Amino acid sequence: MNFRVHVRILPRRGLLDPQGQAVEHALKALNFEGAGNVHVGKAIEIDVAASDEAAARATAKAMCDKLLANPVTEDYQIEVEAR
Amino acid sequence: MIRVAVIRFPGSNCEPDAHRAVVREGGEAFYLFHRETDLRDADAVILPGGFSYGDYLRAGAIARFSPIMAAIERHAADGKPVVGICNGFQILCESGLLPGALMRNAGLKYLSRPVDVRIERTDTPFTNAFQHGEVIRIPIGHGDGRFTATDEVIADLESRGQVVFRYVDTGMPDVSANPNGALHDIAGISNREGNVVGMMPHPERLADELLGSDAGTRVFTSLVRWKRPALVASS
């Protein structure tokens, strides 16, 4: 089966996120007063062929642990969608 | 004569400077493409600066899986010298040969300017020609140089004396001594044994009096004269 995997990677909470801060400042300058706690990360989409959804998820997790996310500085979330 | 492999990744750009600095100090240097799988009897390895794979995904994240890296990991495990400069340091952290990670500069700007760094470990193949505590002024050129690690890793690096280079304030006007927000002002570290060193500043870019200073030269003097401590025979 084919699955579409969506990986969302964000800087680990607690680490300085200067990009998030810069975007937050810009939003406030545009009068979005209620905006706060902004973080900037990455979104990656991958087609994965796997026997079932659990297998696709396991593959995506291995990809994140090995390459897509840095275990020291980033956290990730995976969503799997059947195609 | 020491044989030094200077690794070329797609996007490396400091390898001629590193090559020249080794040769100028009396060593033998040769380029090795990242697709090679054998270090060709190199005594030491330099991972040069640049933008391997365009810094895609994260700086060093893709180069870390280049074919040559397996040989470099074995070389490092044998206690032989490896230095990563700038992008090379990022590759060493991504590969796990050094702990921690290098994140976007706190000020978000790419910085190209001199920094003052203090040499805090002198028993490595790359710093043995310095006095402990000596301060040198050498350039940086990076956008992702903010050294980051967990509190435990930082404490471990400090207690084991693995901080090799630290940014120091000597009163350079109009700039902060720590250019990128690195934790504990860390500019370079070693592994526990000291044979693997990573550093953000570029000693190879200031290794000739023609440039007004050769403050970086002794990193290469250190390497060329390095004698590996005799191994204790195991019974």
Q: What is the CATH number of the domain that holds B147?
A: 3.40.50.880
pTM score, two decimals?
A: 0.94
Question: Under a CB-based contact definition with an 8 Å cutoff, are residues B60 and B52 in contact?
Answer: yes
Q: With an 8 Å Cβ cutoff, are A15 and B58 in contact?
A: no
Whether B75 is covered by a domain: the verdict is yes
Whether B229 is covered by a domain: the verdict is no
User: CB of B66 within 8 Å of any CB in chain A?
Assistant: no
Greatest distance between any 2 Cα atoms in chain B: 59
Q: Which two tokens mark A74?
A: 């980033």
pLDDT of residue A19: 95
Q: For residue A22, give how far its alpha carbon lies from the nearest alpha carbon of chain B (Å).
A: 9
Nearest CA in chain B to A18: B106
pLDDT, tens digit only, all 235 positions of chain B: 999 999 999 999 999 999 999 999 999 999 999 999 999 999 999 999 999 999 999 999 999 999 999 999 999 999 999 999 999 999 999 999 999 999 999 999 999 999 999 999 999 999 999 999 999 999 999 999 999 999 999 999 999 999 999 999 999 988 999 999 999 999 999 999 999 999 999 999 999 999 999 999 999 999 999 987 665 554 4
pLDDT of residue B232: 56
Facing B101 at nearest CB: one of A16, A18, A72: A72
Best of A10, A46, A73, A74 to mutate (most B CBs within 10 Å, chain B): A73
pLDDT of residue B227: 84
Whether B215 is covered by a domain: the verdict is yes
What residue spans of B142-202 are helical by DSSP H?
A: 151-159
> In total, how many domains does chain B have?
1
Whether B67 is covered by a domain: the verdict is yes
Nearest CA in chain B to A17: B106
Residues spanned by the domain of B216 = 3-224
User: CB of A30 within 8 Å of any CB in chain B?
Assistant: no
Question: Under a CB-based contact definition with an 8 Å cutoff, are residues B102 and B93 in contact?
Answer: yes
Phi, psi of B29 (to 5 degrees): -125, 145
Whether B234 is covered by a domain: the verdict is no
The CATH number that domain A2-82 falls under is 3.30.1280.10
Return residues 50-79 of A near B (CB < 8 Å). Answer: 67-68, 70, 72-73
Closest by CA position to B179, among listed B223, B205, B210, B147: B147
- Tens digits of residue pLDDT in A12-40: 999 999 999 999 999 999 999 999 999 99
Query: How many residue pairs bridge chain A and chain B with CB atoms within 8 Å of each other?
Result: 35
How far is the C-alpha of A48 from the C-alpha of A81, rounded, in Å? Answer: 10
Q: With an 8 Å Cβ cutoff, are A72 and B100 in contact?
A: yes
Q: With an 8 Å Cβ cutoff, are B106 and A18 in contact?
A: yes
Facing A72 at nearest CB: one of B62, B149, B181: B149
Angle of helix B68-77 versus helix B87-95 axis, rounded to 10: 80
Facing A18 at nearest CB: one of B62, B93, B108: B108
- Tens digits of residue pLDDT in A46-83: 999 999 999 999 999 999 999 999 999 999 999 999 98
Q: Hey, which residues does A10 pair with through a beta bridge?
A: A75
User: CB of B146 within 8 Å of any CB in chain A?
Assistant: yes
pLDDT of residue B136: 98
Of B19, B75, B86, B142, catalytic? B86
User: CB of B58 within 8 Å of any CB in chain A?
Assistant: yes
Q: For residue A60, give how far its alpha carbon lies from the nearest alpha carbon of chain B (Å).
A: 16
As a dihedral over the C-alpha atoms of residue A71, residue A64, residue A62, residue B64, rounded to 10 degrees, the angle is -70
pLDDT of residue B51: 97
Nearest CA in chain A to B104: A18
Q: For residue A67, give how far its alpha carbon lies from the nearest alpha carbon of chain B (Å).
A: 7
Q: Which two tokens mark B90?
A: 């990022």
Facing A72 at nearest CB: one of B107, B108, B148: B148
Question: Under a CB-based contact definition with an 8 Å cutoff, are residues B208 and B173 in contact?
Answer: no
Contacts of B160 (CB under 8 A, 6+ apart): B192
How far is the C-alpha of A55 from the C-alpha of A63, rounded, in Å? Answer: 12
pLDDT of residue B235: 44
Specify the pairing of strand B135-142 against strand B82-85.
unpaired
Specify the pairing of strand B82-85 against strand B196-199.
parallel
